[in-house]
Structure 1
Amino acid sequence: MDITLALLCGSLYFIGTNRVGYTLSSVLGSPIFIGFCLGLYFNDVTNGLAIGASIQLVYLGVILTGGNLPTDAVLAATIALPVALKTGLDADAAVALAVPFGVLGVFLDQMRRTSNSIWVRMGDKYAANGDAKGLWRCAFLYPELATILLRFVPVFVLTLFGTDAIISLLDMLPDWVISGFSVAGGLLPAMGFAIILLTIGKPKLMPYFFIGFFAVQYIGINTMAAAIFGACISLLVVFNMSKKESVE
């Protein structure tokens, strides 16, 4: 058990999901930032950033419609990253491990929203009586205390007692199961990009995306080569469209 790590992960989750001011919440709650912080802790910033970036890709297309949280990328990163950095899991396997915790985070968020309804009703009574201090407590103090209970405490406990259990389970699993995690996790970032393309209403661009993804994944071309091939394909498409328009 590592109390320092548990305190760090609990604090990162609390800070990353705290919406006070809405100033840096998107940055502080990004898996990349969490990967950087935990990479510093494990003295492996490169791997921390790589795993954090891979988790970030899965949630690129997630939209909080009406403020509803469909999945919790912050919890996914805070739980999966310590396990991955401790065990040496590759980024793809870490992504597959992270996704279920993202779903768990939705339930924690629903509990937070439910508790907020209590402070709203209490605040109405203070407002009716002209009690500004009581209203401030209901608007800020009580919700923050509830957030600490629902955000910091669960992650602290999970990291303190659950990380070693997860590591023991991973050690017991055969290699083919870990390989399966890697394969599944490798596809999830592609799904994140696919959701973005569907969101902007351009499903006809999907084939180009999958060509680029699988070229990088299986042929092994680097980022610069992918950019050059993409630019050439884009020019060919534009030229062909121009020819069709001139003929018409």
Structure 2
Amino acid sequence: GAGAETALLLGLPIATLALIVKNIYNGMFIPLLCHKADAYAEVGDTRGIERMHLISGIGLSLTLGIIVTVSYLAGVNMVKGFLDAIPEFIKHGLSVATGIIPALGFAMLARLLINKKVAPYFFLGFVLMAYLKIPVTGIAILGAIVAVVMVNMPKFAASQPAPAQGASHDDEDDF
């Protein structure tokens, strides 16, 4: 009931703190669990792999839940004080990483997905968005329609009976 200003005042520092903790968790704790899961995989222990997967997800959710709960109970001044204690070079590094990560992710995805068959569709999507100003949702819907048509065309063509190969009554066959 305090209003949007209060929510924004509390939300931004808490979200920043949660993002920092999430990055630390994903960078330091998840690799340890992955190595442990690899060790379980080498001996064929699927239960161990499942445990590592569950621990990673539950651990992150629990950690973020505790941070948000304690932050809201403590108030914005404590959270801001904690964030102000973080050195500026770390904040700047996180800011740079935040800008690089989406580009890196797109490059990795493009490297996996782009080949001679699908490259024209990527460029078509870019042209539709950049020059014709079609929203991404519209391009995605159009892409889904094209994909369904292309997948079903061979099935449709195969189900059609072949035309009879009888005598042709075309006058141009004489030439």
Assess same fold via TM > 0.5.
no
Q: TM-score, normalised by structure 2?
A: 0.38
Please report the TM-score for the alignment, with normalisation by the length of structure 1.
0.28
Name the larger-Rg structure: 2
